[in-house]
Structure 1
Amino acid sequence: MRIAATIFLTDETITPVRLAQELEQRGFAGLYLPEHTHIPVGRESAYPAGGELPREYGRTLDPFVALGQASAVTQRLGLGTGITLIAQHDPIDLAKQIATLDHLSGGRFTLGLGFGWNKEEAADHGVEWRTRRELGRDRVGLMRALWSDEPTSYEGEFGSVRASEAHPKPGGGAPRILVGGAAGPKLFADIAAYADGWLPIGGRGLGESIPVLREVWETAGRDPKHLHVVPYAVLPSPGKLEHYEGLGIEEVVLQLPPAGESEVLRTLDTYAEFL
């Protein structure tokens, strides 16, 4: 099992360069970073975990800039987003960012994408909340057209692009794409339609949900060997990781505290037993 890590990197935490170097030296498989462009203070959307919204949500570094720094000081460490708020991006710009990071890192990038929970943040990006999933699917279709080997046009419900020269290209024609979100028919249909797997937060209930996802996946004609399920933001224990292994899971992303260097490194020390 590959053990990766995620953290809310901010202007107050350990730096991307220091963290990436430590992760690679210690044998971790990857670094995944979340995204929030801003958090409107007049917020009506409830924090999904309950209670007050933690301070770090309004201070996150841009994940692509931070992962670019991490890429430059590592050779093997996987790099990913967990998650990119796909509906909030211009897809032509995002396709270029992804392809550039994947190219410069030697094909190490995973695009974790999702649809968000903060209606106010999305609204400031011009996103209509009820259609954000359909918009996300459309965004991926447009980006895949730009990543194609030959100039390929795309005409979707929410956007279009002419057949274009667009380089560099991600390795393999596209990065690995994982979709985050709670288990359900809409999410599983999206995963089977245009992604490589699921990025469930915490991993609770996977024993029941993974067989359902596998059925949807195979009904869509996808190869069962190519389905990736990567539990995300996990607080580890030996029993929990053994349970995941029994479900056929090959990668887990552990949660690090949004803290300074000394606290983060102490946490990595405690996670060493799982490597």
Structure 2
Amino acid sequence: MRIATTIFLTDETVTPVRLARELEQRGFAGLYLPEHTHIPVSRRTPYPAGGDLPREYGRTLDPFVALGQAAAVTERLTLGTGITLVTQHDPVDLAKQVATLDHLSGGRFTLGIGYGWNVEEAADHGVEWATRRELTRDRMALMRALWSAEPTAYEGEFGSVRASFAHPKPVQAPRGPVVGPRTLIGGGAGPKLFAAIAEHADGWLPIGGRGLTESVPKLRAAWEEAGRDPKDLQVVPYAVLPDPGKLAHYADLGIEEVVLQLPPAGEPEVLRVLDGYAAFL
């Protein structure tokens, strides 16, 4: 099983360069970074985990800039977003960022996407909350048009792009309905999410990894109903606090990668936690 990590990198934590080097030297598989452009001080949206919103949410580094630094100082470490808030980006610009990072890293990028939870943050980007899933689907389709081998136009409900020259292209070859880098969708288990994964992704990023015994068979059923090859489905438990029993359970479910949560802390504490996680490599 591949052991990757995620962390809220901020202006107060270990740096992307130092962390990436340590991860690769120690044999970890990857680094995934979350995204929040800003956190409005006045908001009604509750923190999904309960209680006060942790300090790091309002100090998060831009994941693409940070992952670009990580890519430059590593050769094998995979790089991903967990998750990119697609609705908060111009899709033409985002397609270029994704393709460039994947190209410069030699195809090491995973695009984790999701629908978000902070209504006020999304509203400042002009997002209508009720249609965010449809907007995400539309923008992913537009980006796939730009990533296609030949100039391809796209006309959608929320946006369009002319047939265009758009290079570099993502490294990974198209597979079924998916064009572009490895794409995983985060979110809670349910028919809408599983239908979206089967339609335009490579798999699922379930936060925390709970309830997979019940939910993975349902996802596999939706996947196969959409005509996708069962062996291609990827389930990657995300932001996991590990123990041997939990990882063994994931392995029994056929899971090949897990993303462990690192603390949003300075270098000494992060390296101490990595030392503990090394037992799972």
TM-score, length-scaled by structure 2: 0.98
In structure 2, how many angstroms separate the alpha carbons of the residues matched to 1:99 and 1:272?
A: 31
Secondary structure (helix, strand or coil) at the match of 2:110 reads: strand
The match for 1:99 is: 99
In structure 2, how many angstroms separate the alpha carbons of the residues matched to 1:172 and 1:165?
A: 18
Tell me whether 1:234 sits opposite 2:243 in the alignment.
no
In structure 1, how many angstroms separate the alpha carbons of the residues matched to 2:266 and 2:53?
A: 20
- Of 181, 203, 209, the match for 2:209: 203
In structure 1, how many angstroms separate the alpha carbons of the residues matched to 2:114 and 2:89?
A: 12
Q: How does 1:1-275 map to 2 (within 5 A)?
A: 1-173=1-173, 174-275=180-281
In the alignment, structure 2 segments of 5+ residues that lack a partner are 174-179
Secondary structure (helix, strand or coil) at the match of 2:145 reads: helix
Measure how far apart 1:172 and its partner are: 2.1
Secondary structure (helix, strand or coil) at the match of 2:116 reads: coil
Secondary structure (helix, strand or coil) at the match of 1:212 reads: helix
Secondary structure (helix, strand or coil) at the match of 1:172 reads: coil
Q: What root-mean-square deviation, in Å, do the aligned CA atoms of Structure 1 and Structure 2 show? A: 0.4
Secondary structure (helix, strand or coil) at the match of 1:11 reads: coil
Measure how far apart 1:231 and its partner are: 0.1
In structure 2, how many angstroms separate the alpha carbons of the residues matched to 1:172 and 1:268?
A: 30
In the alignment, structure 1 segments of 5+ residues that lack a partner are none
Amino acid across the alignment from 2:267: E
Q: How many equivalent pairs are there?
A: 275
CA contact (8 A) 2:236 2:255 kept: yes
User: Cα deviation per residue 1:107-154 (whole Å; 9 max; x = unaligned)?
Assistant: 000000000000000000000000000000001100000000100000
Secondary structure (helix, strand or coil) at the match of 2:172 reads: helix
Q: Which 4+ stretches in 1 moved above 4 angstroms?
A: none
Measure how far apart 1:45 and its partner are: 0.3
In structure 2, how many angstroms separate the alpha carbons of the residues matched to 1:86 and 1:152?
A: 20
